[in-house]
Chains A and B, each alone.
Chain A
Amino acid sequence: MLSERRPILLANARIVDPSRDLDTRGDLLIADGQIRDVKRGIGAGGVPEGTEVFDCRGKVVAPGLIDMRAFIGEPGAGHRETLASASEAAAAGGVTTIICQPDTSPAIDDPATVDFVLRRARDTAIVHVHPMAALTKGLAGEEMTEIGLLKAAGAVAFTDGARSIGNAQVMRRALVYAGDFDALIVHHTEDPDLIGDGVMNEGEYATRLGLLGIPRAAETVVLERDVRLVALTGGRYHAASVTCAESLDVLRRAKDAGLSVSASASINHVTLNENDVGSYRTFLKVAPPLRSEDDRKLLIEAVASGLVDAVMSDHNPQDVETKRLPFAEAAPGAIGLETMLSAGLRLVHNGEIELMALLRAMSTRPAELLSLPGGTLKPGAPADVIVIDTDVPWVLDPADLKSKCKNTPFDEARMQGRVVRTIVGGRTVYEHL
């Protein structure tokens, strides 16, 4: 297999490697599935025979993205998304590693299911796939799963996916136990009772639409509790999706106190706000709900400063059966694997974040948090590499999306910048011509 991969020279590139704070002109040589060399003038000095030379003409070469949160329909809901279709979408979006969530049917809560997902991914997916396993059996929030065995089987972290664990004792024990295995616990922090019948961010806009609101406190109350449990237990904890100013305060205090706490923000929450719901656009219904513009600005600042560690797609395919409904009855979720980089580049063009910081949050930090080998362009690292044209303008046509579901909040949106080539393990899996 390895011999089938021709070496690739990405020549005349702008090399951006957040793992080394490197932003420089140069070439990058890939051979045998690894990054061989990164420097100026590799091409001039001679490359192995048979090397494909790709003239980047100043385009950005960066580590492939590692998406910390994607909901895939396999097993159980393959009509919405399979590992194969998700991986096609990922490749088209510059995502070389998908971290899939355990909210499947059956849930990924035992080693055999982890094994199934890994084997299906190996056989059908064109990018790397690593599952997070359920933190509690059946995602029921009551009994912890076999954290040690699941980790040995290949689970990269433990989470109840889109569900929040209400029972503080369960969370405490899980943090304590997971600590023995140095396992990362990832938690969706939203109190279901405070959500109640709410369907969008509480405030004037929800009131005008006649929709019941979800207060920011629904998120912050749980995050605050969890941080105190981390202080009690010393576990390793990651907030799956923070969205509001108050959560950032909690996060800042936790980090200042030296706790092992980290957090992600979804691409939706850093690029969109509650007003984008417009007249009941169900593709903009996500969980937690889109917040105010003030929250969005603080969130992207927090990503830029590193307070929020990672930006993830929160990819969640929903079809017409679950989306073509009145807003309150529609399922939450938006697809994002294919659009997270381009949506993020909008922020770069708007001057809201540096390219380096954006790419760090989408590749290097997730690799560090999950102890994965990617997220870097250091020689010897796996050749998970993307080439980005940061400036090309384009309009998103849902018909072009690889995902089986088309529930994108960026329907018909004008974009600037996209991935033009995605390389996974030295093999080109996507090319935009």
Chain B
Amino acid sequence: MNMAPHSSFVLNHRHLLGIEGLSAAEITGLLDLAEEFVELNRQVEKKRASLRGRTQINLFFEVSTRTQSSFELAGKRLGADVMNMSVSSSSMRKGETLIDTAMTLNAMHPDLIVVRHHASGAVELLANKVGCSVINAGDGAHEHPTQALLDGLTIRRNKGRIEGLLVAICGDITHSRVARSNIILLNAMGARVRVVAPSTLLPAGIERMGVEVARDMREGLAGADIVMMLRLQKERMNGSYVPSMSEYFHFYGLDEKKLGYARPDALVMHPGPMNRGVEIDSSVADGAQSLVREQVEMGVAVRMAVLEALSRNLPNA
């Protein structure tokens, strides 16, 4: 164990609150560091000691088994003591819980706090109240930076580059933090980004975030190297944003036929969990062009890279 990482990359930020504000060089630095952890994670001995003695708290105000376990594994493989804390937002008064919990946790001297919250900006609010590094694991419809990083890593490993690729992001853009973080990262890395959705799921002014906008899949997927599908929440497909699940699947669900509009070597991604038969057909989700499982693998490596890079900034590091 304890083969030192080759990359000595240091992220010159105290927190990772979003992709916004990261330079292309910083993103590349994180992805390069993550590559080393991909290798490490494929070995029998997966442990490093770089976070030994450090305390990492995963503070989840919104349930997410996948993201939380990915962060937990990442921290443990780097040697940190990891504590999971799930705060059900319904059981307590929301905002009070956020600040009070932040103060309480801060008094326990954690080194890193990983936060997921249902409100945009909540992670930044919390970061202003604590003395340690904070990692945004998703805040409302704002950002989910580690998801965009793992998507970037997955793309780069499979296509050899990000620059110059055409990435189509399809589905509920309005409510998606995954979409926002990816739009910012892909633009920073020189990709072309297109969003594809019915107009009710496209937020105002989205075209000014550096994306092309399409309202149907044939036009939207034309020439795409990557097709990134987004999850559509059940409560939004009963007539409020789209008329029904079946209408949505008919026009926007990714099946073999619609995937045929993209480039023949196009690859399919999904941040999970997937609604099979709503936004993606099983044959595509499990097909040869799907990168969904690799995304999960990259998730652990990217989170290790983020933890490692931020911890190099911590006092007494």
Chain A residues within 8 Å of B, Cβ to Cβ = 202-213, 215, 279-280, 321, 324-330
B206 pairs with A207, CB closer than 8 A: yes
Chain A's closest residue to B17 (CB) is: A279
Interface presence of B140 (CB below 8 A)? yes
Interface presence of B39 (CB below 8 A)? no
Chain B residues with CB under 8 A of A215: 204
Give per-residue flags for B258-282: 1 if the beta carbon is below 8 A from chain A beta carbons, else 0.
0000000000000000000000000
Residue with the highest number of chain B CB atoms closer than 10 Å, among A208, A321, A324: A208
B205 pairs with A205, CB closer than 8 A: yes
Chain A residues with CB under 8 A of B205: 203-208
B119 pairs with A326, CB closer than 8 A: yes
B95 pairs with A330, CB closer than 8 A: yes
Chain A residues with CB under 8 A of B204: 202-204, 206-207, 213, 215
Chain B residues within 8 Å of A, Cβ to Cβ = 20, 94-96, 98-99, 117, 119-122, 124-125, 139-143, 174, 177, 180, 203-206, 208-209
B98 pairs with A211, CB closer than 8 A: no
B96 pairs with A328, CB closer than 8 A: no
CA distance A324 to B122 in the complex (A): 10
Known contacts A204-B209, A206-B204, A213-B203; A326/B141 CB under 8 A: no
Q: How far is the CB of A197 from chain B (nearest CB, A)?
A: 10
Chain B residues with CB under 8 A of A206: 203-205
B98 pairs with A209, CB closer than 8 A: no
A to B CB contacts below 8 Å, 24 in the list: A203-B204, A204-B205, A204-B208, A206-B203, A207-B203, A207-B204, A207-B206, A207-B209, A209-B121, A210-B121, A210-B139, A211-B121, A211-B142, A213-B204, A215-B204, A279-B124, A280-B125, A324-B125, A325-B95, A326-B117, A326-B121, A326-B122, A327-B121, A329-B94
> What are the nearest 6 A-B pairs in CB distance?
A204-B205, A325-B95, A210-B142, A326-B119, A280-B121, A210-B141
Chain B residues with CB under 8 A of A210: 120-121, 139-143, 177, 180
Chain A's closest residue to B207 (CB) is: A204
Chain B's closest residue to A326 (CB) is: B119
Residue with the highest number of chain B CB atoms closer than 10 Å, among A204, A208, A279, A326: A326
CA distance A207 to B176 in the complex (A): 10
Q: How far is the CB of B175 from chain A (nearest CB, A)?
A: 8
Chain A residues with CB under 8 A of B96: 321, 325
A327 pairs with B206, CB closer than 8 A: no
B120 pairs with A280, CB closer than 8 A: yes
Q: How far is the CB of A276 from chain B (nearest CB, A)?
A: 15
CA distance A8 to B98 in the complex (A): 54
CA distance A176 to B180 in the complex (A): 50
Chain A's closest residue to B122 (CB) is: A326
A328 pairs with B140, CB closer than 8 A: yes
Chain B residues with CB under 8 A of A204: 204-206, 208-209
Q: Apart from A209-B121, A211-B121, what 4 extra A-B contacts exist at CB < 8 Å? A: A211-B142, A279-B124, A325-B95, A326-B122
Residue with the highest number of chain B CB atoms closer than 10 Å, among A207, A324, A328: A207
Chain B residues with CB under 8 A of A327: 119-121
A326 pairs with B206, CB closer than 8 A: no
Q: How far is the CB of A110 from chain B (nearest CB, A)?
A: 32
Known contacts A210-B141, A213-B203; A328/B208 CB under 8 A: no
A326 pairs with B203, CB closer than 8 A: no
CA distance A326 to B177 in the complex (A): 16
Q: How far is the CB of B103 from chain A (nearest CB, A)?
A: 11
A325 pairs with B206, CB closer than 8 A: no
CA distance A327 to B142 in the complex (A): 12
B95 pairs with A208, CB closer than 8 A: no
Chain A's closest residue to B99 (CB) is: A324
Q: How far is the CB of B271 from chain A (nearest CB, A)?
A: 15
Q: How far is the CB of A211 from chain B (nearest CB, A)?
A: 5
CA distance A100 to B204 in the complex (A): 36
Known contacts A279-B124, A326-B98; A208/B180 CB under 8 A: yes
Chain A residues with CB under 8 A of B180: 208, 210
CA distance A311 to B94 in the complex (A): 35
B119 pairs with A329, CB closer than 8 A: yes
Chain A residues with CB under 8 A of B143: 210
Chain B's closest residue to A320 (CB) is: B99
Q: How far is the CB of B140 from chain A (nearest CB, A)?
A: 5
Chain B residues with CB under 8 A of A205: 205
Choice from B124, B174, B208, B209 contacting A280 with Cβ under 8 Å? B124
Chain A residues with CB under 8 A of B94: 325-326, 329
CA distance A140 to B180 in the complex (A): 39
